[in-house]
Amino acid sequence: MRVLVTGSGGLIGSEAVEFYHQRGASVQGIDNNLRADFFGPQGDIRWNLERLRSTCPGYQHHFHDIRDRRWVLQLMGSTTFDLIIHSAAQPSHDLAASRPFDDFETNALATLNLLEAMRQYQADAVFVYLSTNKVYGDGPNRLRLHCGPLRYDFAEAAYAEGIDEHFSIDQNLHSLFGASKAAADLLVQEYGRYFGLRTGVFRGGCLTGRHHSAVQLHGFLSYLVSVAWSGAPYTIIGYEGKQVRDQICSSDVLTAINAFYQQPHPGEVYNIGGGRSNSVSIREVLILLEQMLARPLPTNYEPQARRGDHICYYTNLAKLRAHYPHWRLTRTVPQLLEEILQSVSTRSPAGAV
């Protein structure tokens, strides 16, 4: 089996490299460490690439930019792949507003480069795209919400299990990041539906895990754990810290991707996240971390919420579970926090806040 992974130094990308290497696949990755340019030293993924080189002998890395169409075509034309996992992205709302061309080219144009190269040279491969729940824009904020002491929750019975794939992506405020990811999301669907390629879209909630190079603008759970471990104050931005996200371990994302690879549904879209059972607010995470660390955690509060930020979002997993009934979540939020704490405590100083 031959696998190509874009964004191979990131959370999902590095998990994919390890996952398929452990199963005897020949794995190639592409990552030019653009995160370091986007986010500075905290976003630098070189530590993760070095880890992959030491733990995955035979892994072949390409330090190239997938915005370079000619290079992408050359790679796809010279090597045959069975599975292409596209997890490279510019992942921040805020950064997209200040660097719109970098955002769109990284998220949308690069995706088109890969898809067209696949159509020309890799038509028998399976292509999996890591999209985002931000394609739904601020639509979830328009639903009736219940505000409790520690968290928001959906007040309507129709959303008791979260947001499903029928939720509209239109007529919403997305941020430029959400718009560029939606453009790529639609392209991946169209190459499946129009050209008949075996493409699939996974719209992620909060994807997390111990190999995340998290920063304030991206990677909520890992970043919060890093700040808590360092003892620095964590800045809560908006909604009194009651905003809710669902958390899913990167390894659980990979088992879902592998299920799609084994039984692809061309052009299909799946929401993927921790679901209602793994939904948690910032306040609830802070309480859990204070218990785990046995000390209070200092916080600051910025009342102005990020524009377009979700107040409450968790994933309805019904469709994914219906198509792949053997897939399941393996980590609870406390277990995820324990694993991330373990990683943060042993990582080099570059990984700390």
DSSP string, 208-229: E-TT---BTTB-HHHHHHHHHH
User: What pLDDT shows up at residue 350?
Assistant: 41
Residue (of 92, 87, 91) closest to 13 by Cα position: 87
Residue 216 dihedral angles phi and psi, to the nearest 5°: -60, -35
User: What pLDDT shows up at residue 220?
Assistant: 83
Q: Which amino acid type is present at position 14?
A: S
**CA-to-CA distance for 308 and 310, rounded, in angstroms?**
6
| CB of 203 closer than 8 Å to CB of 131 | yes
User: What pLDDT shows up at residue 219?
Assistant: 73
User: What pLDDT shows up at residue 212?
Assistant: 76
Which residue has 């909520």 as its token pair?
A: 220
User: What pLDDT shows up at residue 351?
Assistant: 38
DSSP string, 28-68: EEE---HHHHHH-GGG--HHHHHHHHHHSTT-EEE---TT-
CA distances, 107 to each of 34, 113, 317 (Å): 12, 11, 25
Counting every residue written for the chain, the total comes to 353
**CA-to-CA distance for 348 and 47, rounded, in angstroms?**
8
CA distances, 276 to each of 140, 160, 194, 250, 337 (Å): 15, 8, 34, 17, 17
pTM here? 0.94
User: Can you name the residues that pair with 29 across neighbouring β-strands?
Assistant: 5, 61
The CATH number for 9's domain is: 3.40.50.720
Please list, in sequence order, all residues whose beta carbon lies within 8 angstroms of the beta carbon of residue 87, skipping any fewer than 6 positions away. Answer: 5, 6, 7, 8, 10, 12, 13, 16, 130
Degrees (nearest 5) of the Cα angle 341, 343, 345?
Answer: 65
- Domains of the chain: total: 1
User: What pLDDT shows up at residue 217?
Assistant: 63
Residue (of 308, 305, 350) closest to 214 by Cα position: 350
DSSP string, 132-178: EGGGGTTGGGGS-EEE-SS-EEE-SGGGTT-B-TTS--SSS--HHHH
The 10s digit of each residue's pLDDT in 87-123 is 999 988 889 999 999 999 999 999 999 999 999 999 9
User: What pLDDT shows up at residue 113?
Assistant: 98
User: Can you name the residues that pair with 126 across neighbouring β-strands?
Assistant: 83, 198
User: What pLDDT shows up at residue 211?
Assistant: 81
User: What pLDDT shows up at residue 17?
Assistant: 98
Residues of the domain holding 258: 2-351
**CA-to-CA distance for 186 and 315, rounded, in angstroms?**
19
User: What pLDDT shows up at residue 183?
Assistant: 98
Q: Which residue positions in the chain have pLDDT lower than 70?
A: 214, 217-218, 347-353
User: What pLDDT shows up at residue 348?
Assistant: 46
